[in-house]
Amino acid sequence: MRAVVQRVAWANVTVEEKRIAEIEQGLLILLGIEDADSQDDILWLSNKITNLRIFNDKEGVMNLSLKEVDGDAVVVSQFTLHANTKKGNRPSYIRASKPKVAIPLYEEFVEQLELDLGKKVGTGIFGADMKVAFLNDGPVTIVIDTKIKDL
């Protein structure tokens, strides 16, 4: 699994002119899934994101987690995170899972994140043409790949 995690002042997701998810302070999580992903990746990534110390404490130091600031989260599926741009100018998405594999893993990740946070998490609609708006706070943007845990 690959995630782009952005600390946001607010974020929302719109599909067909209908707002389906909206948060204030928290994290916008763009999530890409590949066939090699498993329950272990879900558990590891959810725990990592939930406990990332990227929110400011009273001294303005990034020292608090999403849980500690009682922030919200919204998760948006994004197969393009697994784009291969090595050859030519048209990205290949061969590593991105097809919906049959990706949807259950995406849903399990959202459920695990809700468990770890103790609250509901906003989502996009898998495979839909979504409009994602947000105000990156900081800016703080972190890329996490469960296949590269030592970075």
Mind telling me the catalytic residues?
A: 80
Residue bearing tokens 């719109």? 14
Per-residue tokens: 71: 């922030």
Q: Tell me how far apart the alpha carbons of residues 107 and 57 are, in angstroms, rounded to a whole number.
A: 32
Q: Tell me how far apart the alpha carbons of residues 116 and 57 are, in angstroms, rounded to a whole number.
A: 21
Adjacent-strand bridge partners of 4? 30, 143
Contact 75, 90 (CB under 8 A): no
Phi, psi of 62 (to 5 degrees): -70, 100
